[in-house]
Chain A
Amino acid sequence: MTSTLTSEVTGARKPRRERLWTWLLVPGTLWMSIFFVSALVLLVALSFGTTDELGNPQFGSTLDNISAIFSGPYLRVILRSFLYATLASLICLLLAYPVAYVIARYGGRYKNALIALLVVPFFANYLVRMYGWQTILSDEGWLLTWLRDLGVPASFQILDTAGAVIGGLVYGYVVFMVLPLYASLERMDVSLIEAGRDLYGSALQTFLHVTVPATRAGAYAGLALVFLPAMGDFISAQLLGGPDNLMIGNLIQDKFFAGQNWPLGAALTMVLMFLLLLCMSGYLRQTARDAKEARR
């Protein structure tokens, strides 16, 4: 669609006002090239680098870092992170959909207040909230003490399990799922649902064939918004996970700090980004296809 527009207008001298708008792009582009693109270029360049005796990174042209990733235990951890992030995204979707649905459809004049209430806890730093969970879930914390009083066996623990890590991810990122879902449910034309019911669709059928397709874009956006940060997260695994729950973010952090191996950390980051890019391109293709179908 844009290409047809382009061909219509190119060649014609543009009015002064439009050129002004074009110049407004300059600060943003400069900002992005300095702080985003250059950081990215640094990262890619460093992943072929080495370190000096103090562990300071140096540029180089070695492939050792990349090959180390494929020989070490890293791929297994990437796979595990992928699994945790996928599960966390799906759980977020299941949790967030009813919440967004109820607020969007039945929130009435409290809609905005309800959404604000959902967002407020996220003003507190993620790390601080995770420390809070650590205290609540610990073996002699109040939750487990209370559960044991109810007859839960003493060997039962929550902290340092895969469930705690995935739960931490869900807790940390669920708001990113609620907001796009809410936006798409809010935008949806309610008369579509009424039409579905008028055509003798049951409540469930109407939901599946009308509401879900109409909000699919919001769900995809939410899945992407939760999945991406969850995949790179290290705080949840660090504070709520055990030795079998390490995520790739933990290893990258290790390499940048205690491991004094920024080049290996950079290489890991690059491989991770490449994989995420593959996932994202799938997401973009899917949303583009949906958009096309919606226009037809």
Chain B
Amino acid sequence: MTAPLPASLGGDFSRRGFLLAGVAAAVAGVSGCAYGGDATPKADSTPVVPKIDGDLVYFNWAEYVHPKVFRGFEEEYGVKIIESNYDSMEGMQAKLAAGNRYDIIFPSALWVKKLADANQLHTIDPTTVQNAPAIFDHYDYFADPWYDPKSSHSIPFTMYKTGIAWRKDKLGDELTGSWEDLWNEDSRGKTFLLDDRDEVLGMASLMLGLPLNTAAEGDLDAIVEKLTTLRPYLRGFSSDDYNNLLAGDAWMHQTWSGDMAALLWQAKDPSIYGFQTPSEGAPVNSDAYAIPANAEHPGTALLFIDYMLRPENVKKNLNWIGYPMPVHGTEDAYETLVADYPECRVSIEDLEADLYFDGGSIDDLHARDAAYTEIKVG
């Protein structure tokens, strides 16, 4: 006979009681606390003092700093760099909200704004950063940028813009210079959009003459309608612009300038690729260095920022990732890099066109996201 298992569960505790107790314990654990809690402390407004106060806990996109630059910092200051990576800004935010502690992060302009508004970033006094004048004395734009008044919580890192990349050998040497080029018959089934809500909606807004960050219902309807006509041409929504173009799956691709620069150095025959900044306008963006409010070693982080801004390190890094950095004395290095592909260049004039994604309120974001889902699903 089989063992009378169910019976053995009677008496001392029944199976049902046992399960109920488990659920009750779980519910007790959940109720009464906000999701994630208020673990993240708010920043006070005292600026960070640059001094070594421990190893550097570093949080960034993968492969965004030249390995030699890392090693140099470790050797010079006698600390270790503990690296983790994120694969999206939202992923970064989720980790921060869960209470993870990092000393330095690299948020995009919009995320500097969001985090600073929520009091989640340390104050940085640029006068304590020796190499800061190379930025702020030469690039007025960053002295008081839209995302962080007086750059008091962030130091600019890189700049980029969005355009169209295409295969010259398949579609010809010149396109018309408009976002309309995405509706190209010859590229039907070989056209990709970035898998990025703001870039996709923003591109249609520019074409329709709507505000770049619109969340108005009528505007979103018009955008959905416009992009529905593009769907038959599309092969996919993908942010892997670089690989889609290199693998030959994409003949036409909404593309970030830095990825384009990286692709052109990587391609066997770069002359078959073109890149244009459409006449209706190209969204611009920039990334920055920032120190989260709950950082354990903010002093080391500030020294790291200063170290990263040394021209020799900036040059190594911009060669490594392909994005220009607004640091005086490194412009030549970038010019040399994109000499054959001037269309990838990002200038302060580009940034001053003010075509940036401001994120809007969370309700706006969700409305835009619903529209984007509609476009993606079709």
Contact = CB atoms under 8 A, between A and B. Distances in A.
Contacts of B362: 51-55, 260
Give the dominant DSSP class at B's interface: helix
Given A22-B9, A41-B26, A53 B248 contact: no
Contacts of A259: 197, 366, 369, 373
A57 B197 CA distance: 20
Max chain A C-beta neighbours (<10 A), residue from B35, B91, B231, B369? B35
Contacts of A138: 247-249
A41 B27 contact: yes
A5 B29 CA distance: 36
B8 A2 contact: no
Nearest to A30: B22
Interface in A94-153: 134-135, 138-141
Contacts of A25: 9, 18
Contacts of A46: 35
A73 B18 CA distance: 41
* Tier of interface size on chain A: 35 or more
B345 to A, nearest CB: 28
A34 interface: yes
Nearest to B230: A243
A239 B94 CA distance: 24
Given A140-B248, A257-B90, A53 B118 contact: yes
Closest 8 CB pairs of A and B: A140-B248, A33-B22, A38-B26, A9-B7, A73-B377, A138-B247, A259-B369, A18-B8
Given A53-B362, A258-B197, 15 more contacts: A8-B4, A8-B7, A9-B10, A18-B8, A22-B13, A29-B22, A33-B26, A41-B27, A54-B118, A56-B36, A72-B374, A74-B373, A241-B236, A243-B378, A258-B196
Interface of A: 2, 5-6, 8-10, 13-14, 18-19, 21-22, 25, 29-30, 32-34, 37-38, 41-42, 45-46, 49, 51-59, 68, 72-74, 76-77, 134-135, 138-141, 155, 157, 159-160, 241-244, 246, 251, 254-255, 257-261, 264
16 contacts: A19-B12, A33-B22, A37-B22, A41-B26, A45-B30, A54-B97, A56-B93, A58-B35, A73-B374, A76-B377, A140-B249, A242-B236, A243-B231, A243-B235, A254-B369, A260-B362
